[in-house]
Structures are given as C-alpha cells and as structure tokens.
Chain A
Amino acid sequence: MLEVRNLSKTYAVKQGNFHALKNVSITVNKGEIFGFIGLSGAGKTSLARCVSVLEKADSGEILLGGIDITKLKGAKLREIRKKMGFVFQHFNLLMNATVFDNIAFPLKIAGKRASFIQSRVNELLEIVGLTEKSAAYPATLSGGQKQRVGIARALVAEPELVICDESTSALDPDTTRDVLSLIKKIGAETGVTFLVITHEMDVVKAICTHVAVMEDGEIIESGNVLDVLTKPKTPTAKRFFWPPDSVFEVSPQGGHICRATFIGEAARKGFIYEISRKFNVELSILSGNIESIGGTMVGSLILEILGKEEILAKTLNAFKENGVEIEVLSNHA
C-alpha cells in the first residue's frame, strides 16, 4: 500500500549539506503497524515528513495506492493528504477550538454535512474515550488527553495511512502505555496502516508488527518485528534491542558469557536444568527477562557457562536444537 523507492532528502546547513535520507526504500503493507526506530538525526522524521508531503523529497518515489505522491500538486495533493492522518509529537491542536471542533476539522475542510460530522466525531470521541470532554478546550486537557484528540483527528476522515511522529515522546510512561494500547486497538479493529516514528524501543515492542532501524539516513535493518528484534544484525540494532552489556561478575574458574533468546514456545519450556545435567556443565543465570514483542513471548537470558571448549560447543548446540538463539558474548575461560 505504501512503497518508498530510493528516497533522498538533503538539507542545506551551515557546514554544507546534511543528507537526511539516502536512497531509502521500504514497502509497507495494508494493516501493518510499521515502526521506524533510530537515534535523533537518523532520518526517521524526515521520512515521515516526506511521506506526508510536508517536506519535498529531492529524489525518489513514494507510492501510495500506486500513485506517486511526490509528483502531486494543488488539489490532487490535498486529496491524497485527506487519505493520510498525522499524529504529532506536540499535538498541534487548535487552542481556540473545542475538542469536538478539533476532531471535526478534517471533515469540515472536506465540506462534509453537519449531521455526518456530528455522528462521526461522536463516534471518534467514544473510541478515544473523551465523550465528556467534547466541549472542552485543549488547554484544560492533560497531555495524554490532548494526544487522544490528535489521534481522533488523524482518524476521523477514515485515512488509509496514519503517521505517528514521536507521538508518545512528550508523554509520561503511564500515559504512553495508554496511548499505545489505543493505537494498537484501533489498528486491530480498523485495519488502518500505521507508520510509527520513535526513538523508544518500548514503543516498537508494544505495538509494531514490523520495524525498520534507521541510521545516518539509511534503513539498516527491517522486517517482521520479532525477527528483527530477536536477531538484530547490525551493532546499532543490537544496541537498541539489547541493553548494553553490563559488566558481569565472572566466576573465578572463568567461563563463557552467553546470551540466549527464547522465542514463543521455547520461552515456556524448562530445559536449562536438563542441559546442565546432560553435559555436566555449570550454568548460572546472570540476568534475564521475559517480555511480549508483537504479541509473542520472548525470553532473554545472560548465562555463564563453565566448562571446556568442546562441552561448550555441545551445550550451545543443545540450546539451538531446542529452538533457542544463543551467542557467546565473551570468553573468560
């Protein structure tokens, strides 16, 4: 449904040119919640702004439903924009308009009938849980409520694509969770495609079905969220998905520090003890956690394996046979 081909964007800055996007290509299918994660300056916001044509790309194509939107102008461009919703980091609500009028804005400018606007906005107010706040002004709302208005406004005209640019970055953790579950719920119920721009790993884990990792204006990894998160290839992606390696207390005998990732069913089975007994190796758990990524349980353990090289190899194999991703982080033997 959205296809970005060889998109490039350069900004003129004092020290010459800044390449915000370098030949970015990505395909997003209908119904996906596609996350774009990267550090600031990685180009993710530029990508979002190019897709919504708030910014003109230098070269490349952005196909939305088969139409190259980078070439559009005037009325045709406005038509395409009506098929997209945009949720901003700082909400960008009309401060002198009520919650109702803010949400109604896209419908009003599209010249919809008052009776239709009334019922459609009320529907959205219900979805985002702000029915009582209909006549309130944004200044009286909390940050989370303001963003709910922003989401309702983005959805009211039944867009095909909704772009969320750092939509939860200005919110506290609790509110972030609320807003994310709202986006997830809407995605599941309506089948709307979302582009979620973020620098927070938790956002990707909580709602995304797919993810692209961006660095220096390029997409360095992309795909199904479970695959990319559990098998990151590039150092940047690893840093994002796995917390930086802490300094672990290594046993006096010296062992191998390993990371084991248990996906889905593997996370439920208890075979560590079994493996430990079978190969007669000492396995100690240095740290571990289990979480849900894109709806799949993923466990992650940092293990210390004490034993000879050949035993280690056998142990690692046993893990792999059980469907566990394992890699040696450091060797102190």
Chain B
Amino acid sequence: MLDWDNLAYILSGGRHQTFEGYTNHIIPTLIQGTIDTMYMVGFASLFAIIFGMLIGLLLYITQPNGIHPVAFVNRFVGIIVNIGRSIPFVVMIILVFPLSQHIVGTSIGRTAAIVPLTIAAIPFMSRVVESALNELSHGIIEAATAAGATTRQIIFRVILPESAPALVGGFTLLIINLITFSAMAGMVGGGGLGHLANSYGLQRHRTDILMYVVVILVILVQIIQGIGQMISRKLDKR
C-alpha cells in the first residue's frame, strides 16, 4: 500500500508532512500560475494578432506586384519588423521595462509582462500573416479585380476568407510561441508558470513543482495546437 503522506514528504523535500497539506499548498499555486500564464498569453496574443494582422496586411498589400504597391511604405515597415524580430526576447523585456511602467503602471507581475510579450510578438505575427497571405493564388485576386471589386472588397471578401485557414494556423503558432515566451518573462518577474518554475524549481530546489510546470505547459500547448488545427481544418474547403 502506497504511503501518500510519505510520498508528499519526499516530493516536497521534507516541507510537507501530510499529503493533504502538500496538495492544499501546491494545487492553488499551480492553478494560479496557469491562470496567470493564460492571462498574459491571452492578452498578448489578442494585441499581437490585431497589430500583426494590420502590419502583415500592410506588408502584403504594399509589396511590389501587390494589390496596392507602395515601395516606400513596404520597405520602411519591413525594416522596422526586421529590427523587432532581431532583438532577443530577454533583451526586449529589459528594454521594455520603462515602457511597461509607463503603460500599465508597474514593471513586474503578470500585467507588466503583457507589454514585452506583445511587442516581441507583433513583428513575428506580421511576418506570419504576410506569408500566409502570400500563399494565395494571384488568380483569385485578379478575378475579383476584373469583376470591379475595390481594394477594401478584395481584402474583406477575397483575401481574408480565402486565407482564413492559413491565418488560424499562424495564430496557433503565435499563441504557442507566446506560451514559451511567457515562461521566459516569468523568470524576470513576469508571473505565471515561468515564475513558479523559477521561484520554486530553481531557487528552492523544488523539482516536483518544476515537473508539474512542464507537464502543464505540455498540456497547454497540445490543447492549443489541437484546437487550432481543428478550426483551421474546418475553415479549409480546398
């Protein structure tokens, strides 16, 4: 017969004498960490998708041979996006600290982490959106042009519906990337599962919590990937 209290004692490195005490402490901690991670990833994804879609569309439309070529805008935005993408995330967090202070009033905690996460994710999202749109055949845009559609109609009635499956795939990629980024943000005061892994796993040598964090992250990624693929497949009538 398994001695649960003994197991709790071993797992917690002697900090908990009973299994009940162990779970009473650890489960709320992990739940809070998961909620914080989802909070950061959720908001950062939302903002990154909004701005990434706008910038990605802008890059797509203004490119040479695009539906509204503007070489200057395309090059300028492209350079900004490339600069954003070339800054390592850890460096970005430090760079953005003052900005977080300015926008959300604090530079630590889960809300503060949304700012660097969003800023790091926008350039990535922009390129993902751009390449998703570039997969569209030029022919369908030409057919819409020949039918007398305006640029706005081409965007909303042709480009977006036709690239929806690829875009959803891109959003999935972004959210999963943000989950791993958020863990990194947690390391430097961002909250969430990354914070747990750091404060318990690293500093207090709580290998058990570190393992739980990894398991939760794996499950989160699997769920997001599964949902993303399901939606993408449902949208794709090709």
Q: CB within 8 Å of B: which residues of A? A: 52, 54, 78-82, 84, 86, 88, 90, 92-97, 105-106, 108-110, 137-139, 153, 157
Contact = CB atoms under 8 A, between A and B. Distances in A.
Interface of B: 137, 139-140, 142-150, 153, 157-158, 161-162, 164-165, 235-238
Nearest to B236: A96
Nearest to B164: A96
A105 to B, nearest CB: 6
A108 B153 CA distance: 10
A92 B139 contact: yes
Contacts of B157: 105, 108-109
A79 B238 contact: no
B237 A92 contact: no
A214 to B, nearest CB: 21
A81 B148 contact: yes
B140 A92 contact: yes
30 contacts: A54-B146, A81-B145, A81-B146, A81-B148, A82-B147, A82-B148, A86-B146, A86-B147, A88-B143, A92-B139, A93-B140, A93-B143, A94-B140, A94-B158, A96-B161, A96-B162, A96-B164, A96-B237, A96-B238, A97-B161, A105-B144, A105-B157, A106-B147, A109-B144, A109-B150, A109-B153, A109-B157, A153-B143, A153-B147, A157-B147
Given A137-B237, A139-B238, A94 B147 contact: no
The 7 closest A-B CB pairs, nearest first, are: A92-B139, A81-B148, A92-B143, A137-B237, A82-B148, A78-B148, A86-B146
B184 to A, nearest CB: 36
Contacts of A137: 237
B149 A139 contact: no
Contacts of B149: 78, 109
B148 A96 contact: no
B162 to A, nearest CB: 5
A142 to B, nearest CB: 15
Contacts of A157: 147
Contacts of A153: 143, 147
A94 B161 contact: yes
Contacts of B237: 95-97, 137-139
Given A94-B140, A95-B238, A106 B148 contact: yes
A202 to B, nearest CB: 25
A54 to B, nearest CB: 6
| Interface hub of A90, A92, A108, A153 (most chain B Cβ within 10 A) | A92
Given A82-B148, A105-B147, 10 more contacts: A52-B146, A54-B145, A54-B146, A78-B149, A94-B161, A95-B238, A96-B165, A96-B236, A97-B161, A105-B144
Contacts of B147: 81-82, 86, 105-106, 109, 153, 157
Nearest to B153: A109
A15 B146 CA distance: 31
B148 to A, nearest CB: 4
A106 B149 CA distance: 8
A32 to B, nearest CB: 21
A92 B238 contact: no
B146 A84 contact: yes
A95 B143 CA distance: 13
Nearest to A139: B238
A110 B139 contact: no
A105 B150 CA distance: 12
Contacts of A138: 237
Contacts of B162: 94-96
A105 B147 CA distance: 8
A234 to B, nearest CB: 32
B51 to A, nearest CB: 25
Contacts of A84: 146
Nearest to A106: B147
Contacts of B139: 88, 90, 92
Nearest to B149: A109
Contacts of B137: 90, 92
A153 B143 CA distance: 10
A138 B237 CA distance: 8
A153 to B, nearest CB: 8
Contacts of A92: 137, 139-140, 142-143
Given A94-B162, A95-B238, A110 B144 contact: no
A111 to B, nearest CB: 10
B37 to A, nearest CB: 33
A181 B236 CA distance: 33
Nearest to A98: B237
Contacts of A108: 157
A90 to B, nearest CB: 6
Given A90-B139, A92-B143, A93-B140, A78 B150 contact: yes
